[in-house]
A and B are shown apart, each in its own frame.
Chain A
Amino acid sequence: MDFVTIGGLVIGLIGALSTIGSVVVLVYKSRGENKTAALNAKTALDARIDARVTLQLETAWKSITDLENNVKSLETRETRRSGAITRILRAIAKQWPGTEGPDLDPADIAEIEETIPIAWIRKSPT
């Protein structure tokens, strides 16, 4: 074989091998684990999980704070109410004719105030 034929074969062979080889190398390389890429992916994954947990915690804490505020406001309202009822009862008792005082249900009184004079409370049936 002459130089031109051998040269043509060499050029064709090396050119074709380079094309196929580069694709094979890239496919092989893409299958391998890249530490940086894996680390980046893990960091990104952790960040997304953190973000989700943070969001859930924020939602939960907001809900808890709202409930706390509601309870506080109910407590304040209830204290005011029971105070008012006590004052009303005392006022009624002061104006009550006779010495016995009003006849009240002990269970109802226990619900609102402990400072009602015992004498005003209905005796339990014996």
Chain B
Amino acid sequence: MLKLYSWSIWAHDAIPAEEWKYRNLKRVVFPIVDIIFFLSGFSAARFGIPAISEFFPDEFVDIFAYVLSLASFICLLGVSFPSLWGFEIAGKSVVLGLIIGYVVALFLLTAVGEDSRGFIFFISAVSLVFIIWRLSLLGSEWQARRVEAAAERELAARLAAIAKLDRGE
């Protein structure tokens, strides 16, 4: 259990010193957002999604809800354990697609005269900001990992060259 904690985002050394000021984004805000998405999928599976039901059969709505729950749960795992960042990218992309689909459905309904859907359309659009922002952060971290891996390889090559010189080869 302690080992699991040491791998998590809540472990003492999980947040780099330069990100310490923003630690609660990763430790509190993002996990809460994922939990809310998971609960929204759970709620959709039980009570349906009226806007999606306007366009798709009930079976599709159920699939939409289960996929949203599963993808959100994977995102929650990814944000909780930083080494699972790849899973989080996959999960977040799926959640993004589902929520954009939902926002588009609300937009189409609003456009054809169901003006009362306008409010929920804008509220749903707000949730997109969190998803895109998190995806953008994950992209930057992926890029930084790649650059650091290249630097590690360069360092290993330089150290090998120095060791060769030390041996007089």
Q: Which residues of B contact A45 (CB under 8 A)?
A: 151, 154-155
Q: Is the interface of A mostly helix, strand, loop or mixed?
A: helix
Q: Does B54 belong to the interface (CB within 8 Å)?
A: yes
* Size class of the contact patch on chain A: 20 to 34
Q: Does B45 belong to the interface (CB within 8 Å)?
A: no
User: In the bound complex, do residue B108 and residue A11 qualify as a contact, i.e. CB atoms below 8 Å apart?
Assistant: yes
User: In the bound complex, do residue A18 and residue B146 qualify as a contact, i.e. CB atoms below 8 Å apart?
Assistant: no
User: In the bound complex, do residue A8 and residue B56 qualify as a contact, i.e. CB atoms below 8 Å apart?
Assistant: yes
Query: How many residues of B are counted as interface, with CB atoms below 8 angstroms from the partner's CB atoms?
Result: 37
> Which residue of A17, A34, A52 contacts B159 across the interface (Cβ within 8 Å)?
A52
> Which residue of B54, B55, B89, B143 contacts A34 across the interface (Cβ within 8 Å)?
B143
A59 to B144, CA, bound (A): 34
Q: Which residues of B contact A15 (CB under 8 A)?
A: 97-98, 100-101, 104
A8 to B101, CA, bound (A): 9
> Which residue of B101, B151, B159 contacts A42 across the interface (Cβ within 8 Å)?
B151
A89 to B141, CA, bound (A): 82
Q: Which residues of A contact B150 (CB under 8 A)?
A: 41
Q: Does B33 belong to the interface (CB within 8 Å)?
A: no
Q: Residue-by-residue, is A57-77 near B (CB-CB < 8 Å gives 1, otherwise 0)?
A: 000000000000000000000
Give the shortest distance, in Å, between A32 (CB) and chain B (any CB). Answer: 7
User: In the bound complex, do residue A37 and residue B55 qualify as a contact, i.e. CB atoms below 8 Å apart?
Assistant: no
Q: Which residues of B contact A3 (CB under 8 A)?
A: 108, 112
**Closest 10 A-B residue pairs measured CB to CB?**
A15-B101, A19-B97, A41-B151, A30-B142, A8-B55, A37-B147, A37-B144, A18-B100, A15-B97, A26-B139
Identify the B interface with A (CB < 8 A). 52, 54-56, 89-90, 92-94, 96-98, 100-102, 104-105, 108, 112, 132, 135, 138-140, 142-144, 146-148, 150-151, 154-155, 158-159, 162
